[in-house]
Amino acid sequence: MSFITGVGLTSFGKHEASSSLDLMSQAAQLAISDAGLKRGEIDGVLCGYSTVSPHIMLATVFAEHFGIKPAYAHAVQVGGATGLAMTMLAHHLVEAGIVKHVLVVGGENRLTGQSRDASILALAQVGHPDYEVPLGPTIPAYYGLVASRYMHEYGVTQEDLAEFAVLMRAHALTHPGAQFHDAISVADVMASKPVAMPLKLLDCCPVSDGGAAFVISRERTGPAGVRVRGCAQAHTHQHITAAPALSELGAEMAIAKAKQAAGVAISDVRYAAVYDSFTITLAMLLEDLGLAGRGEAAARVRSGHFGRDGAMPLNTHGGLLSYGHCGVGGAMAHLVETHLQMTGRAGNRQVRDASIALLHGDGGVLSSHVSMFLEQVR
């Protein structure tokens, strides 16, 4: 068994003069305090990467900066799936008895620490250095390619995709820590500047500064009872040129294995936290995971299915699209929000029932997938 005993999340947006280590430290302290632990009790550290401050040993750089001497520490790099991949590893580390309390942390001053061009350029390097990068693609272009094909095969429209941006913005409006505080409409998304068609500016997550952290422990440390019920990964390719057909992507493999590991069905799930780097990412993953039929996710958004009061509340903090995306910490915010929902601490965003949650992360260009089920334990 492993429990998520504490969570921490900074606001996302601009944190002028905060380094990646500062943002990681802020989130880490919040998570450790939330778990009711002292920092000296943390014996494992897993951290992500920072494109602003790359380092070959970021976990020990962080541990020294933060002031802890863990028995186990290293960085993990799985792109957008890093947060859940670290959580999966932490789960197995505490289950195996190697450590008692693993601090999982990610944070980056990606917005103010480098130019937007530098961010876009750094991220585009997930493309193949010889066969893709010389063509001048960007991350939105990789996902734009996927979107064009998905729309072609399943009859999804740009207006359908816009619904996801509107939903995430509506959720972000209820969270003071979100990067964006202005409501948007489908018409606003449609009228926003073209980035990599069919994706427009409001189909894309922003670049943010921020940090997030959790503590994964062998035993509960307080009243909060959230345990990892089961998780799994799948990795089918790195580069979009080498990706399999839409029907053979890793999300479906990861969720199938995670369902088996957790012994739960999609019909058991009450809350969903799904990676949403772009509107197409969210639309596809919801359908890959079985949270909506093929081509039907947008209709479910329109009917309120994924809203706070709907049957399957989704990313109630606003997701990457509107809470923001600071790199590794970005998708970790999904887990922080899930934890708050499962422990009844989500305030005005609180959903009725979050007893079983499904989380899913995607790294690269739908390259790496992690599915995870969390369960509320009374």
Partner 1 sequence: MSEKPTDWTTGAEAIVYQGCAACGALQYFHRSFCVACGAKDPVEKRASGTGTVYATSLVCRAATPETRAHVPYNIVLVDASEGFRLMAHGDNDLSIGDKVTARFVPFAGRLVPYFERQE
Please say whether the beta carbons of 49 and 327 come within 8 A: yes
Separation CA 351–CA 345 (nearest Å)? 10
Separation CA 123–CA 274 (nearest Å)? 20
| Residues contacting partner 1: total by CB under 8 A | 35
Which residue lies nearer to partner 1 by CB, 147 or 374? 147
What dihedral do alpha carbons 35, 39, 45, 51 form, nearest 10°? 100
Residue from 16, 56, 67, 117 binding partner 1 (CB under 8 A): 117
Which residue lies nearer to partner 1 by CB, 60 or 114? 114
- Is 206 one of the binding residues for partner 1 (CB under 8 A)? no
Q: In the block, which residue shows the tokens 């919801």? A: 286
Residue from 33, 53, 138, 355 binding partner 1 (CB under 8 A): 138
Separation CA 106–CA 208 (nearest Å)? 13
What single DSSP character describes residue 360? E
Stretch that binds partner 1, among 9-17, 58-66, 131-139, 307-315 (CB under 8 A): 131-139
Which residue lies nearer to partner 1 by CB, 21 or 243? 243
Which residue lies nearer to partner 1 by CB, 128 or 294? 128
Residue from 157, 241, 260, 303 binding partner 1 (CB under 8 A): 241
CB of residue 152 vs partner 1: minimum separation in angstroms?
A: 5
Which residue lies nearer to partner 1 by CB, 23 or 240? 240
Which residue lies nearer to partner 1 by CB, 200 or 308? 200
CB neighbour list of residue 76: distance below 8 Å, 6 or more residues apart: 46, 47, 48, 82, 85, 86, 89
Smallest CA-to-CA distance from 93 within 242, 215, 256 is with: 215
- Is 144 one of the binding residues for partner 1 (CB under 8 A)? yes
CB of residue 142 vs partner 1: minimum separation in angstroms?
A: 8
User: How many Cα atoms occupy the beta-carbon half-sphere of 13 within 13 Å?
Assistant: 12
Residue from 120, 190, 264, 311 binding partner 1 (CB under 8 A): 120
CB neighbour list of residue 88: distance below 8 Å, 6 or more residues apart: 228, 231, 233, 370, 372
Provide the residue count of the chain: 378
Backbone angles phi, psi at 132, to 5 degrees: -125, -55
- Is 239 one of the binding residues for partner 1 (CB under 8 A)? yes
- Is 183 one of the binding residues for partner 1 (CB under 8 A)? no
Separation CA 295–CA 378 (nearest Å)? 37
Smallest CA-to-CA distance from 51 within 105, 103, 121 is with: 121
Stretch that binds partner 1, among 10-18, 71-79, 129-137, 257-265 (CB under 8 A): 129-137
- Is 145 one of the binding residues for partner 1 (CB under 8 A)? yes
C-alpha distances out from residue 31 to 34, 101, 216, Å: 5, 11, 10
Which residue lies nearer to partner 1 by CB, 130 or 309? 130
Residue from 4, 84, 196, 262 binding partner 1 (CB under 8 A): 196
- Is 157 one of the binding residues for partner 1 (CB under 8 A)? no
Which residue lies nearer to partner 1 by CB, 94 or 204? 204
- Is 152 one of the binding residues for partner 1 (CB under 8 A)? yes
Reading the block at residue 93, the tokens are: 């580390």
CA angle 212, 216, 221 (to 5 degrees): 110
CB of residue 149 vs partner 1: minimum separation in angstroms?
A: 4
Which residue lies nearer to partner 1 by CB, 74 or 239? 239
Q: For the stretch 219-258, what's the b/e string if a residue is b when 16 or more beta carbons lie within 10 angstroms of its beta carbon?
A: ebbeebebbbbbbbbbbbbbbbeebeebeebbbbbbbebb
Which residue lies nearer to partner 1 by CB, 102 or 240? 240
Residue from 37, 81, 111, 195 binding partner 1 (CB under 8 A): 195
Residue from 40, 155, 176, 194 binding partner 1 (CB under 8 A): 194
Instruction: Categorise residue 232: left if φ over 0, alpha if ψ from -120 to 50, beta otherwise.
Output: beta
Binding site for partner 1 (CB under 8 A): 117, 120-121, 124, 128, 130-132, 134-138, 140-149, 152, 193-199, 239-242
